Amino acid sequence: MKTARVAYNGSIHSAEESEGNVKLANGLIVKEEEVVWLPPVEPQTVFALGLNYADHAKELSFNAPTEPLVFLKGPNTFVGHRSKTVRPSDAINMHYECELAVVIGETVKNIKKEDAYNYVAGYTIANDYAIRDYLENYYRPNLKVKNRDTCTPIGPWLVDAKDIPDPMNLTLRTYVNGKVTQEGTTKDMIFDIPMLIEYLSSFMTLNKNDIILTGTPKGLINTKVGDEVITEIEGIGRLVNTIISD
Amino acid sequence: MKNGYVKFSETRTLQEVVIDTDKKALTLSKETLALDKCNLDVPINGTVYGTLLNYKGELEKLGSQLNEAPYKNPPVAPVLYIKPVNTLNRSNKPIPLPNDTRELQIGAALGIVFNKVTSMVSEQNALDYVLGYTIVNDVSIPHESYFRPAIKQKARDGFCPVAPWIVKKEEIANPDNLEIKVFINGELRQQNSTANLVRSVVKLISDVSQFMTFNEGDTLLVGVPENQPLVQNLDHIRIEIEGIGSLENTVKL
């Protein structure tokens, strides 16, 4: 099952997918374009992984990390499907990052990787934009790069974990104005989903609806105002976003 | 006596109270309650953002390292981090000592609590968005390098005790001149002042709000002074901030 949070007719609804349309909790079926899409779960603690695909680390001339490179994102940065993301006028290099997002299903601590999938509620797609001009070498990647308003589209759907039998074998693609610019597979993650859940839960409690953005493969290019950026993951869906000026 | 806010565990919203920080009592309408008889929750419900390297003494301690690898240049933008919800802890509750470390670093921080959505505000208007101030202990496992986000060192369960109250901003004439003292087992171990901030309270709010929005209930820590005391199992910590009160916790394995 695929679920979402949307605004329709002045209120917020939970919804599910129905033959490509959006079925509200009250049974009303509306088109994708008729709703305002919100992040499919309300973000609270959100982890993101840096350099978690070997080819991307190489692309940025970094050695692959020996321990997960984790940073946190605040609720302010998230926007839903079909939203607009602001490119600051002084930015020279702003790139998308197509990422598989893992949503935790319950409060857990000290999970072993063998059991980790039991605690996954589902999956969605995130586009973890970065503005590389603002990178500084303190707690890098710093929040000015990674926690900007509108810079993390997420959605459209939360797909039930049971509908994705092998999340470690999914194709990821990004299209800019219809052309494929990034392609990879979740097979190439350095730290896979069970390892990430084991790692994070070994030193802190994970809560229901915590989200882990698992990193991005190579193929990052600069995006311009007006570009339509679609991040797509096999079996999960397509997340549409448009770049606007500030 | 200070006007402020607390959150009782039984209620959903903050309650206005008069706080007697010396006698440790709260007056609510006309009723006065001993603080230790109240079941108080953490008085903030948003995201807690910390600020690194916002005391002049911290930058001075790093000295020429700021120009060397891996940093290469002194910081330009505010260096922020997040204390996620699992870290929130109440006053007088134990700070859990993880079994992979013997020492913890105490981070005495003034917390600015926002009262509305705060985006792209000027320094002149910054305080219009502030509800008040609280005391936060930004606990860390000691770490030498600031190159990568210190999630494993800063995001452990219970690593963010927050004072039981928020003092209204009107009670604090100048948030950039508050004395901070840290006592470990009754002994004064650290003393500093928000007069030594690199970015003042209003400058920090203004600069951060240019690239990210604070929501009502979010809290921004102004930073932690240099020479953070180290503590071990069973140590008792009292952080005092002038005009706001004190926050006490004990480390417990």
DSSP helix/strand/coil, B65: helix
With cut-offs at 50, 70 and 90, classify the pLDDT of residue B14: very high
DSSP string over B199-219:
S-HHHHHHHHHTTSPBPTT-E
The alpha-carbon gap from A235 to the nearest alpha carbon of chain B, in Å, equals: 31
Are the CB atoms for A82 and A210 separated by under 8 Å? no
Using the beta-carbon criterion (under 8 Å), do A144 and B77 form an inter-chain contact? Answer: yes
- What whole-number distance in Å separates Cα of residue A119 and Cα of residue A198? 11
The alpha-carbon gap from B12 to the nearest alpha carbon of chain A, in Å, equals: 18
Using the beta-carbon criterion (under 8 Å), do A71 and B149 form an inter-chain contact? Answer: yes
Using the beta-carbon criterion (under 8 Å), do B49 and A74 form an inter-chain contact? Answer: yes
Partners of residue B188 on adjacent β-strands: B183
User: How large is the ipTM?
Assistant: 0.95
Using the beta-carbon criterion (under 8 Å), do A139 and B79 form an inter-chain contact? Answer: yes
Q: Which of A138, A144, A200 to mutate to test the interface with B (most CBs of B within 10 A)?
A: A138
Task: Count how many pairs of residues, chain A against chain B, have C-beta atoms within 8 Å.
Answer: 103
Are the CB atoms for B22 and B189 separated by under 8 Å? no
- What whole-number distance in Å separates Cα of residue A69 and Cα of residue A29? 42
Q: Which of B211, B215, B219 to mutate to test the interface with A (most CBs of A within 10 A)?
A: B211
The alpha-carbon gap from A222 to the nearest alpha carbon of chain B, in Å, equals: 20
Is A42 in the B-facing interface, judged by CB distances under 8 Å?
no
pLDDT(B25) > 80: yes
User: A194 — phi, psi (to 5°)?
Assistant: -60, -40
Could you say which of A70, A141, A203 has the minimum Cβ distance to residue B156? A203
Q: Which of A42, A191, A200, A204 to mutate to test the interface with B (most CBs of B within 10 A)?
A: A204
The alpha-carbon gap from B154 to the nearest alpha carbon of chain A, in Å, equals: 10
Which pLDDT value is given to residue B11?
87
Going by the DSSP 8-state scheme, the letter that residue B94 receives in this structure is E
**What is the H or E stretch that residue A171 is in?**
strand A171-176
Could you say which of B72, B84, B214 has the minimum Cβ distance to residue A137? B72
The alpha-carbon gap from B64 to the nearest alpha carbon of chain A, in Å, equals: 15
Which pLDDT value is given to residue B178?
98
The alpha-carbon gap from A175 to the nearest alpha carbon of chain B, in Å, equals: 27
DSSP string over A178-242:
TEEEEEEEGGGBSS-HHHHHHHHHHHS-B-TT-EEE----S---B--TT-EEEEEETTTEEEEEE
Which pLDDT value is given to residue B244?
96
Q: Which of A67, A139, A149 to mutate to test the interface with B (most CBs of B within 10 A)?
A: A139
Which pLDDT value is given to residue B166?
97
Using the beta-carbon criterion (under 8 Å), do A148 and B155 form an inter-chain contact? Answer: no
pLDDT in tens, B190-231: 999 999 999 999 999 999 999 999 999 999 999 999 999 999
In chain A, the residue whose alpha carbon lies closest to the alpha carbon of B67 is: A137
| Mean predicted lDDT score pLDDT of chain B | 96
pLDDT in tens, B109-163: 999 999 999 999 999 999 999 999 999 999 999 999 999 999 999 999 999 999 9
- What whole-number distance in Å separates Cα of residue A242 and Cα of residue A85? 6
Q: What is the mean pLDDT of each run of 10 residues along chain A (246 residues)?
A: 97 96 96 97 96 81 84 98 97 97 97 98 98 96 96 98 98 98 96 98 98 96 97 98 97
Which pLDDT value is given to residue A65?
79
The alpha-carbon gap from A118 to the nearest alpha carbon of chain B, in Å, equals: 21
- What whole-number distance in Å separates Cα of residue B148 and Cα of residue B131? 32
Of A96, A81, A73, nearest in space to A39 by CA: A81
Chain B contact set for A47 (CB, 8 A): 151
Chain A contact set for B73 (CB, 8 A): 136-137
- What whole-number distance in Å separates Cα of residue B79 and Cα of residue B148? 11
Could you say which of B77, B81, B98 has the minimum Cβ distance to residue A136? B77
Which pLDDT value is given to residue B146?
96
Is A21 in the B-facing interface, judged by CB distances under 8 Å?
no
pTM score, whole prediction: 0.96
pLDDT(B19) > 80: yes
Kindly state the percentage of chain B with pLDDT values over 70. 100
Using the beta-carbon criterion (under 8 Å), do A142 and B150 form an inter-chain contact? Answer: no
Which pLDDT value is given to residue A54?
85
Contact residues of B toward A, CB < 8 A: 47, 49, 52-53, 70-73, 75-82, 84-87, 98, 100, 119, 146-152, 155-157, 211-215
Of A196, A220, A235, nearest in space to A48 by CA: A196
Q: Which of B82, B147, B214 to mutate to test the interface with A (most CBs of A within 10 A)?
A: B82
With cut-offs at 50, 70 and 90, classify the pLDDT of residue B232: very high
